[in-house]
C-alpha cells in the first residue's frame, strides 16, 4: 500500500512561540521511546514553562451525557453506538483513555486516529494498513494522548518552521499546499473536522479536497455520490450519516467573520503567556476564551465594552434551544417514517423519497449539533444549518401526511 507522509506547514517559531524565549534553547531531545516520538516529558526539559501550560489541560475533566440532556438522541441515533453512549469530550489529555472507555464499539484501530500522537506516528511510519489493525492490539502499545508530535512532529522550535501537519489524510485530501489554509488553523483542524472511514480500507478520510468543497451541502453531495452511510437504521430503512466535529469547516465558511479578519484557532484558544524572564510564548492550555481574561481583553479591540461572556452565552442559548426543538421534531419524523415502513402500505419508491429527506434533515441538524462552539464560531452558519434541517423535516412530514390521506 502506498505510504502517505506528513508535510510541514511553514510558519515560523517566532510567530507561534516567541523568538526570545527560545533564542538560547537547548538542543532537541533524543526520543527515548521505540516509536521515535519526542514526548511532552522530554520537551519539558527544554521548554519547561511552555509544557507546564500544556499540562494544565489535565484540569479539564468536566463531562456530561448528551443522552441525559437530550433524550431524543437515542431515538435519532437508533442502531448506532451514539444511541447508548454519547458523552461530552474531556480535555485533550484524556483522549486516549476516553476512547478506550467508551461503550461504543471500536473494533479497529482507526478509532485512535485523533486520540494519540503514538497512533499518528504509527500510520506515518507503517502506512495506512494500520487503520485496519485490531483496536486492542494497537491500544496496548499507545503511551501518550494528544501531544507535541501531533502539531509539531519532532521539529526543534528554535529557528525552525514549526507547525507540522502530521495526519496524512489531510495532505492526501488537500494536497501539499493544503489549499492555502493557515497553518495555525490547520494544526487544530487536522483533528477538528468532519471525516469518515473508507468502507474498504478502513482508513480515515476527509470528504473534501479544498475549502470550497467543505460544508454540509458539499459534503452531503460527496457522501451521496459515493453512496456512503455510517449505518442503516433498521426501523426506517434509512442509510444514515453521523457528523463528527466540523469546527474547521465551520470556521472557514464564507460567513465566518473572524476568519475574514485573519484570526486563527490559536488567536482565540491559546493566547500568550509570560515566562519568568519576561519573554512571551504561546499558551498551550486550550480552553474557551471566555475562561481567559487575557483573551477576552483582545476581543475588546472590536467589541469595545461589550460583555462578551453575556453575548456569547446568549447566542449559544439561542442555538441550543433551536437544536433541541428540531431534535425533537427529527425524532418525531423518524417515528412517523418507521410507522409508515411498518404499515406495509407504501411502495419503496414512496418510502425512499422520505428516507432521502430524513437523511438530509438529520445531517444538517447533526452538523450543527456536534460542532463544539454551539454557534459561537460562526452563528450565521449554525442558523443556516438548522433552518435547512427545519425545512427538510417539514417537507418530509408534509409528504408523509399526504401519503396517509
pLDDT in tens, 289-337: 999 888 888 888 899 999 999 999 999 999 999 999 999 999 999 999 9
Residue 103 phi/psi, 5-degree rounding, is -85, -5
pLDDT band at 256 (very low <50, low <70, confident <90, very high): very high
Distance (Å, rounded) from C-alpha 26 to C-alpha 21?
Answer: 11
CB 157 within 8 A of CB 22: yes
* Per-residue model confidence (pLDDT) at position 79: 97
Strands, E, within 266-401: which ranges? 272-274, 280-282
Do residues 405 and 280 lie in contact, with contact meaning Cβ atoms separated by under 8 Å? no
Strand-pair partners of 231 = 240
Among 183, 145, 180, CA closest to 164: 183
Within a domain: 157: yes
Distance CA 113, CA 123 (A): 9
Please report which residue ranges of 132-252 form alpha helices under DSSP H. Answer: 135-139, 148-152, 168-174, 183-189, 216-225, 247-252
pLDDT at residue 2 tops 80: no
Residue 160 has a pLDDT of 36
Q: What are the cell numbers at 150? A: 501531533
47-68 per-position pLDDT tens digit: 999 999 999 999 999 899 999 9
- Would residue 173 count as lying in a domain? yes
In a domain, 229, yes or no: no
pLDDT confidence tier of residue 23, bands split at 50, 70 and 90 = very low
Which three cell numbers mark 276?
519568568
C-alpha distances in angstroms, 12 versus 156, 263, 286? 11, 17, 20
Strand partners, 164: 8
Q: Is residue 381 a part of any domain in this protein?
A: no
Res 24: pLDDT: 40
Is 145 within a domain?
yes
Q: What is the pLDDT of residues 95-149, one digit of tens each?
A: 999 999 999 999 999 999 999 999 999 999 999 999 999 999 999 999 999 999 9
Mean pLDDT of 254-259: 95
The predicted model gives 272-279 an average pLDDT of 91
- DSSP string of 376-404, one letter each residue: SS-HHHHHHHHHHHHHHHHHHHHHHHHHH
CB-CB neighbours of 258 under 10 Å: 16
**Whole-number pLDDT of residue 16:** 41
Q: What pLDDT score does 220 carry?
A: 98
Q: Tell whether 24 is covered by a domain.
A: yes
Reported as a pLDDT band with limits 50, 70 and 90, residue 26 is: low
Query: 365 with 385: CB under 8 angstroms?
Result: yes
Region 257-274: mean pLDDT is: 92
pLDDT score for 1: 30
- Stated as kind and residue range, the H or E segment containing 296 is helix 293-303
Q: What is the pLDDT of residue 67?
A: 97
User: Predicted confidence band at 19 (pLDDT cuts at 50, 70, 90)?
Assistant: very low
* Average pLDDT, integer, range 152-169: 74
Residue 43 lies in a domain: yes
CB 353 within 8 A of CB 255: no
Can you give the CATH number for the domain in which 252 is found? 1.10.1130.10
What is the Cα gyration radius of the chain?
Answer: 22
Q: How many domains does the chain have?
A: 1
What value does the mean pLDDT of the chain take? Answer: 90
75 to 149, 196, 236, 327, 390: CA distances (angstroms) = 39, 22, 11, 10, 18
> What is the mean predicted confidence (pLDDT) over 79-97?
93
- Measured from the Cβ of residue 89, the count of other Cβ atoms closer than 10 Å reads 13
For residue 87, what is its C-alpha cell? 458523552
- Work out the pLDDT band at 3, boundaries 50, 70, 90: very low
Q: Please, which residues have CB within 8 angstroms of residue 46's CB and are 6 or more apart in sequence?
A: 25, 26, 27, 28, 29
- Kindly tell me if the per-residue pLDDT of 231 is higher than 70: yes
Instruction: Look at residues 275, 309, 209 and name the one whose alpha carbon lies nearest to residue 23.
Output: 275
What pLDDT score does 233 carry?
Answer: 98
Residue 387 maps to a domain:
no
- Name the residue range of residue 173's domain: 1-59+91-193+245-287
Amino acid 9: pLDDT = 35
Amino acid at each position: 500500500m502506498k505510504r502517505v507522509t506528513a508535510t510541514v506547514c511553514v510558519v515560523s517559531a517566532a510567530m507561534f512561540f516567541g523568538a526570545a524565549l527560545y533564542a538560547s534553547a537547548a538542543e532537541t531531545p533524543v526520543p527515548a521511546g521505540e516509536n521515535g516520538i519526542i514526548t511532552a516529558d522530554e520537551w519539558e526539559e527544554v521548554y519547561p514553562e511552555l509544557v507546564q501550560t500544556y499540562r494544565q489541560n489535565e484540569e479539564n475533566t468536566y463531562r456530561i451525557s448528551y443522552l441525559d440532556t437530550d433524550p431524543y438522541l437515542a431515538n435519532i441515533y437508533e442502531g448506532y453506538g451514539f444511541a447508548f453512549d454519547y458523552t461530552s469530550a474531556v480535555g485533550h489529555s484524556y483522549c486516549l483513555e476516553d476512547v478506550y472507555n467508551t461503550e461504543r464499539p471500536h473494533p479497529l484501530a482507526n478509532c485512535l486516529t485523533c486520540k494519540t500522537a503514538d497512533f499518528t506516528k504509527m500510520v506515518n511510519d507503517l502506512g495506512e494498513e494500520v487503520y485496519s489493525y485490531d483496536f486492542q492490539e494497537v491500544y496496548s502499545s499507545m503511551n501518550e494522548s494528544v501531544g507535541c508530535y501531533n502539531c509539531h512532529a519532532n521539529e526543534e522550535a528554535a529557528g525552525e518552521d514549526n507547525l507540522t501537519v502530521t495526519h496524512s489524510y489531510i495532505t492526501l485530501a488537500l494536497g501539499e499546499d493544503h489549499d492555502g489554509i493557515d497553518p495555525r488553523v490547520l494544526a487544530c483542524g487536522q483533528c477538528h473536522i468532519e471525516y469518515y472511514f473508507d468502507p474498504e480500507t478502513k482508513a480515515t478520510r476527509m470528504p473534501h479536497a479544498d475549502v470550497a468543497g467543505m460544508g454540509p451541502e458539499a459534503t452531503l453531495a460527496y457522501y451521496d455520490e459515493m453512496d456512503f452511510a455510517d449505518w442503516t437504521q433498521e426501523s426506517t430503512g434509512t442509510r444514515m450519516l453521523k457528523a463528527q466535529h466540523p469546527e474547521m469547516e465551520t470556521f472557514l465558511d464564507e460567513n465566518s467573520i473572524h476568519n475574514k479578519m485573519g484570526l486563527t484557532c490559536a488567536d482565540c484558544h491559546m493566547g500568550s503567556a509570560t515566562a519568568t524572564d519576561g519573554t512571551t510564548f504561546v499558551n498551550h492550555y486550550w480552553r474557551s476564551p471566555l475562561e481567559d481574561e487575557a483573551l477576552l481583553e483582545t476581543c475588546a479591540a472590536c467589541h469595545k465594552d461589550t460583555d462578551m461572556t453575556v453575548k456569547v452565552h446568549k447566542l449559544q442559548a439561542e442555538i441550543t434551544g433551536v437544536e433541541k426543538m428540531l431534535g425533537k421534531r427529527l425524532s418525531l419524523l423518524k417515528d412517523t417514517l418507521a410507522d409508515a415502513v411498518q404499515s406495509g402500505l407504501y411502495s419503496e419508491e414512496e418510502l425512499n423519497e422520505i428516507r432521502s429527506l430524513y437523511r438530509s434533515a438529520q445531517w444538517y441538524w447533526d452538523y450543527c449539533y456536534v460542532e463544539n462552539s454551539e454557534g459561537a464560531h460562526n452563528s450565521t452558519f449554525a442558523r443556516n444549518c438548522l433552518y435547512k434541517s427545519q425545512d427538510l423535516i417539514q417537507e418530509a412530514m408534509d409528504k408523509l401526511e399526504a401519503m396517509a390521506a
